[in-house]
A and B are shown apart, each in its own frame.
Chain A
Amino acid sequence: MEEKAVETQVAIIGGGIAGAAIARELSKYKVDTCLIEKEVSVGCGITKGSMALVHGGIAYLSSRIIKRMDSDLSLEAFLNQPLNVKERLGEAGRDMYFELAPLLNTPITRPGRVMVAADQEQLELYKVIKKVAEANGVKDIVILDRDGLREKEPLINPKFIGGIYDPSEAAIFPPEWVRAFTENARDNGVHVFLDTEVKAIKENNGYYSLKTSNGLIKAEFVVNAAGLFADEIAGMIGKGDFSMFFYKCQMLILENKGYIQHVIARLPEPGRPRMLIPTTHGDLLVAHSMDQSTDKYDLSTTMEGLDLISTYPPDLIPNISPRKDIKASFAGFLAFNTKKLPDYLLEFPEERFLNVALAAPGLGPAPALAQEVIKMLADEGLELVEKNDFNPYRFTEPRFIDLPTEERNKKIQENPAYGHIVCRCEHVSEQEVVASVGTGARTLDDIKFRTRAGMGRCQGGFCTSRALQIMARELNVSPLELTKKGGNSYILKCETKELNEEEEK
């Protein structure tokens, strides 16, 4: 039997930071849009395992240095080359995040970036970076001498003789921003399909037919923002003239016991960024080891990788003991398209089929990228008529524990479930878990990333049993049906006595 297709004007494939930002931007217009994500939650691909930074100007310039090796140009001339698309969008996107933050009710912090100099040569290099940055309109860059560096970061390793400071470097919690873009897009009419994997695409009669694991979607326009899988999606229409290549990056989360205030980085060397990042949650992210990888599903950490990154923090801040301060370790991907390396690939390989194949970093440029993509779609013939009822605001409940006492007590009076704290480490109330389920959380990881229950020092030892009970009650399912992150990631196997009864039979 032929199943009935969902018909739409624009299908965005990929619910990462790019797809979500594009979906929200499109939702300002009278355009029927679908956002299609293969996982059960948005933002859990490359976005989730990223460094969580919205880069400042010197981050882009300093990362150019790695690429200078084969160039005959002088350092200054090399750095002075015009910005590429990624860098241009990065510059524009940063301020947009700060405009969006109050609208989407999603935090962004501005720790600033301190890059340290191990010797005079590096310090001179920073001076060139500052000169070029200023010529490009980047403001407030400061060259730090030894004392200046110590003033910024009192615990810094005394071996560093100075550095450069860029106040504009910002930090976000990426999955939350993806969720914010997505929820706001959905509130403005975008259809969000989760757990929906695109299997095949056919073009006929001015439509693209997307065969998905969740039925057929027919779209006039397709935006391929499938991240790591963008090459495969393009391949589905026979336009796989690029591939995505990627590095597996292992990272640590440490407790930040007042060690640092700013993002601290060494001058990047190939494969060794060596950075410490204060996260929006008050932790410390250690980034990262880099190994070129070919398995898009392999996010395993390795003994060698963890050992390597464990050497970064004491190198920068001798007081840090990764072994003692560790809260979590994980891996993410740093990906690039092969066609426009190291830039973004933004092009229509076919009419009305737009490849948005990114290159790290993808986070900072995303809001500006979204506007760029909308322009490209308009040029391709998508009619854009602004909605007059677009709602730019995304409502979220503030974290209960962050409210003033009077408000907390008012809330408990209105709903006693606020008075039941189910996560001992992050002080998350039962009602916040209930509310997360209400806004679409279906897995234990969803609850964790929305409420922080399970993210604290005991890593779910206390709250897991409680969260499962609340979720099962709210969703009216057995706890046996609940998963950590969808698919086969079930948490409980069976009821007690079942195995013995099985055996008796």
Chain B
Amino acid sequence: MFTKEVDLAIIGAGPAGIAAAISARKAGVDNILLLERAENLGGLLHQCIHNGFGLHYFKEDLTGPEYAERFINKLSSADVELCLNTMVTHLYPDRSIIAINQERGEFKISPRTVVLAMGCRERSRASIGIPGTRPSGIFTAGLAQRLVNVDGYLPGREFVILGSGDIGMIMARRLHLEGAKVKAVVEVMPHVGGLIRNEVQCLHDFDIPLLLEHTVTEIYGNERIEGVKIAQVDRDGIVKNSERSIDCDCLLLSVGLIPENELSKEAGVQLDNRTSGPIVDEFLQTNIDGIFATGNVLQVYDLVDNVTLAGERAGKNAAKYAAGTLKKQHKEIKVLSGENIKTVTPQKIVGFEDVELALRVQQPVEDAELIVGNYSKKYRVISPTELIKVVAKSSDLETFWESGEITVSCHKRRKDKVNG
């Protein structure tokens, strides 16, 4: 088998992988191979033809393809070897990679360093188990987005959208603008799953009905979907006698994203049950020496700007690792999720520098206080839909090396409890 030796192999050329490649190159890594299974660079950005990208990173409002283009241009002048249409089939604990493409056939890559940037996939109907028939006309929102924006076809004309993830809300607007009717966006939680700005700009601005605390309880239609039953939900589950039918010829699902870690698992990378992504330190290195993870494979981000930043961080640290200049202590601080924390990365701290933590809360909190060890920060509101970034200063971490643990938590500020 043809074997290729490289300093750094990056699996996935979405925004995370591209950013990792550019920053690793900039940090002096010579021999970089970027592997991508699709036919294009930029991952799913090319099907995200709406705007709202780059507000943080470029302070500009760009569409997905425009945002991608900026990095693709940078990449093309960065002397990074690309393998498009290339499926990585195996990743082993010794970091070796097996991939297949048309030009080389099946080949092996022996990299000194690996960055995992495979992104995430959408939860399907199967994984949430909606009862009913199995007709055509049920799509994940991301697949529908590709069918509409890339392939040029509408998958239906009367839609119900289950789940209010960002892609679902963006598709609601997109379909509305295409002349289709979006009869309802149905969300089981008391708040939308995606960004508030998408709730406003994609649903409210177009009078698309949003049904919070509702879910789809049945799908009907034998050949093509003919409608769904929806019902109200509360803490005890489905509210009796609240069921009603909505006719539709298409159901889209925007019910969550799952990091794609099949390769990570094969390589023996330890995963975090909360994020479903690898357990990493602040350098984004996994438990396997020389394997880094970044972007949506690490945790599901809401803004591509943050994915880019995470990609840059992984690329920079992979470069340091390759050069032998990654400075780690011989001990670690575990970062624990305390009260009202859903996820936090990194899951462990091993270095000497300040550490940026990225976390998500479980429940929305107004007048919130976020606590990291002895440090606390006030927020007017913290919502589960947004990833919060907070820096733990190395000086603040000093006292935690001994116990080896630091807890992150978030609750309502104490002054509100004074009355009691």
Contacts and interface: CB of A to CB of B under 8 A. Distances in A.
Interface of A: 253, 297-303, 305-306, 323, 326-330, 401, 405, 408-409, 412-413, 416-417, 419-421, 424, 427, 444, 457-462, 464-465, 468-469, 479-480, 483-500, 502-503
Contact of A497 (B105, B142, B178): B178
B136 A495 contact: no
Contacts of B324: none
Contact of A495 (B1, B126, B154): B154
A483 B218 contact: no
Nearest to A305: B131
Interface in B72-114: 85, 87, 89, 100-106
A419 B89 CA distance: 12
Contacts of B218: 300, 302-303
Contact of A499 (B139, B157, B250): B157
Given A330-B134, A461-B122, A487-B223, A493 B102 contact: no
Interface of B: 1, 37, 85, 87, 89, 100-106, 121-122, 124-127, 129, 131-137, 139-140, 142-143, 146-148, 150-157, 178-180, 217-220, 222-224, 238, 249-250, 262
Contacts of A328: 126
Residue of A323, A459, A469, A503 with most chain B CB atoms under a 10 A cut-off:
A459
Nearest to B132: A300
B89 A462 contact: no
Contact of A493 (B121, B134, B150, B156): B156
A424 B150 CA distance: 19
Contacts of B106: 405, 408-409, 412
Given A330-B134, A408-B105, A492 B89 contact: no
B136 A420 contact: no
A303 B135 CA distance: 17
Contact of B153 (A409, A484, A494): A494
Contacts of B238: 303
Given A326-B127, A502-B179, A490 B224 contact: yes
A413 to B, nearest CB: 7
A420 B102 contact: yes
Given A461-B121, A461-B122, A499 B154 contact: yes
A460 B1 CA distance: 31
B56 to A, nearest CB: 28
Contacts of B135: 484, 489
A497 B148 CA distance: 10
Given A408-B106, A459-B125, A493-B250, 6 more contacts: A302-B131, A459-B126, A459-B127, A461-B124, A485-B136, A500-B178
Contacts of B1: 405, 409
B153 to A, nearest CB: 4
A413 B148 CA distance: 34
B155 A493 contact: yes
A483 B136 contact: yes
A415 to B, nearest CB: 9
B153 A461 contact: no
